[in-house]
Amino acid sequence: MTGDEPQADRSFGARLAAVFAREGRLSVGIDPHPETLAVWGLDDTAEGAKRLGLAVVEACAGVAGIVKPQVACFERFGSAGFRALEAVLAESRQAGLLTIADAKRGDIGSTMASYADAWLSPGSPLEADAVTLTPYVGTGALEPTMRRAASHGKGVFLLAATSNPEARALQGARTPEGASVAGWIVGDVRAFNRRHAGNSVGRQGARVGAAGVVLGATVRLAQAGIEVGPGVGGGEGGVMPVLAPGFGSQGARLTDLEAIYGALTPGVIAHESRSLLNVGPRRLRDEIARHAALARVVDA
């Protein structure tokens, strides 16, 4: 086995497929914004962020299988915030949850290698199962990190079509070949998964790739140049993971998941944060369970 080949039974795709089958598609945000901490009666400190994070992990265990800590919400507290995040990530692993560090890193050369060491290397204090990446240095510049992720059984999610209106002009711009920038990123991720196809399988026997994209649930994907019709959901590279923020407070409904994503649905991770966290700690587990049931509308 070479260093670029995914681990046979511990690949990110295999573990994601297992979560889909076991707990469904819901991803729960760990976003200790000042307003959320206030709802919880917690101080706007690193300790408050840690307490919220650990409570979310406890509420998710056995109910929802994926958590996505928003790194910026911890980073704002400096070194104390990173220690809090380390504790939350460690507790998430202990609880058997799949973790996506929403760090949005993107650089070239040795700088990107250092980011990969931080977020994707087994044993790192900030080790996560996957990390979000910004591909506007070029997807080719990120491929070494993507290969490293696959070799460690980790995943990556490249921002492609985000829901903020400021992104539309850039992400919808056309390449000389006529593809949108967002569509071009999706195509590059598909090509990576074809080149590094693992043996992770979903319920229908389809492989699930190590590399995925972020496609906001409030984005009109066809207008953004993202194909969702029949024939785009699998193929030689297997199922492409799709991190789908925008459900809940941002307006998209979990019951519309399949209508939004079409043939991409088998890889979709439906993410919610504020709509869950803002119910407070007492109701959190019940609310997560309710939303997780809604996010089981389509099985992988």
Active site residues per annotation: 104
Exposure string over 134-172, b if 16+ CB within 10 A, otherwise e = ebeeebebbbebbbbbbbbbbbbbbbbbbbeeebbeebb
Tokens 């809940």 found at: 248
Q: How far is CA 198 from CA 22, 251, 290, in A?
A: 21, 35, 33
Q: How far is CA 58 from CA 12, 69, 131, in A?
A: 22, 14, 22
DSSP label of 233: S
Q: How far is CA 120 from CA 179, 254, 273, in A?
A: 31, 29, 23
Specify the DSSP element, H or E, that contains 215. Answer: strand 211-215
CA distance 278 to 36: 6
Q: Which of 192, 191, 172, 167 is nearest to 182 (CA)?
A: 172
Half-sphere exposure (Cβ direction) of 185: Cα atoms closer than 13 Å: 31
